[in-house]
Amino acid sequence: MNFFVTGGAGFIGSHVCERLLRQDHRVVAFDDLNDFYPLKLKLKNLKSVTAIGGDRFRFVEGDIMDRASVDTAFRSTSFDQVIHLAARAGVRPSLLEPALYQRVNVEGTVNIIEAARATGVTKLTIASSSSVYGVNAKVPFSESDPIFQAISPYAASKLACEALGHVYHHLYGLDITMLRFFTVYGPRQRPDLAITKFASLISSGKPIPVFGDGSTERDYTYIEDIVDGIVAVTDRRLGYEVFNLGESDTVRLDRLIELLELSLGKKAEIQRMPAQPGDVPRTFADISKAQRLLGYKPHTKIQQGIPKFIEWFRQNLEI
């Protein structure tokens, strides 16, 4: 099949492209190569993907907010499916640029869905986020939980994308699946995310900023498990569905730091900071729906995933 993958040069996107290429599909990756983090990281990702795909892989530089470039890309090839991963990500940065997050994540998603509809692509898989649950007192978080109390602009933008997915399914019969990712980590993780940031600071002997008392909990999910879930969606016609993709386990922040210290062989210097607006105290995925309908089964626990990440981190210190 021919796949169109937005955000294909990024952390999750490059892994998805590689998996599809290993399955003998053809892939066009669409990415604007913005300066949210260093360009050399995305270029290295693309180099790795190209080495696997050869002439079955093509990269197109473009912005999902530019409808003309999106339309041109869609007209260049007859695509069977779209995997839409491009977005402005992160809770804390969204507090500083809320309008940008709405433009990229909401308007950009409309442009992708409209281009797909105009060219006859009827199946789309779209990234959402566990942040849509907000401060959810009920754990683990289920897809049937009410989600109308977002506490960050980023979360609000992802809620809007889920609503748009339902609208396009209802009006035009598009097969659209929304995937709520829970704290994805692993090789190629963005440098602004906690695990990469902490590993870098600990390695260089600098203090790591810990917001709050270290008791916040996250459902850390290894990249290969996330890719398993994404690819499982591409094999099924589902109508309109929303799925949690997580490890279905929680790890305290102070425990995460301990695991990084063990893998790096070096103690962390802690710099205590006040809790941040927009942060939630806990994320915890109920994955029973994904298990039932997708055959989703995460394999990598945090105790195995952190050493795998650190191995990659040490091999890529130059970037």
Q: What is the pLDDT of residue 212?
A: 76
First to last CA, the chain: 33
Judge residue 187's burial from the number of C-beta atoms within 10 Å of its C-beta, 0-12 exposed, 13-18 middle, 19 or more buried: buried
pLDDT value of position 278:
61
- Torsion, Cα 231 236 237 242, to 10 degrees, reads -60
Alpha helices in 29-107 (DSSP H): 39-53, 67-76, 91-96, 98-102
Backbone angles phi, psi at 78, to 5 degrees: -90, 105
Contact 176, 168 (CB under 8 A): yes
Which pLDDT score, from 0 to 100, does residue 251 have? 93
Question: Which pLDDT belongs to residue 319?
Answer: 65
User: Which parts of the chain register pLDDT below 70?
Assistant: 278, 319
The pTM (predicted TM-score) of the whole model is 0.94
d(CA 211, CA 150): 20
DSSP state of 285: B
Give catalytic residue positions. Answer: 154
Helices (H) and strands (E) in the chain, counts: 12, 13
Strand order in the sheet with 123-129: 57-61, 26-31, 2-6, 81-84, 123-129, 175-181, 240-245
Tell me: the pLDDT tens digits for 202-242?
999 999 888 877 788 999 999 999 999 999 999 999 999 99
CA–CA distance, 279 with 276 (Å, rounded to integer): 6
Cα–Cα dist 307/57, whole Å: 30
- The structural domains of the chain, ordered by start, are 2-315 (3.40.50.720)
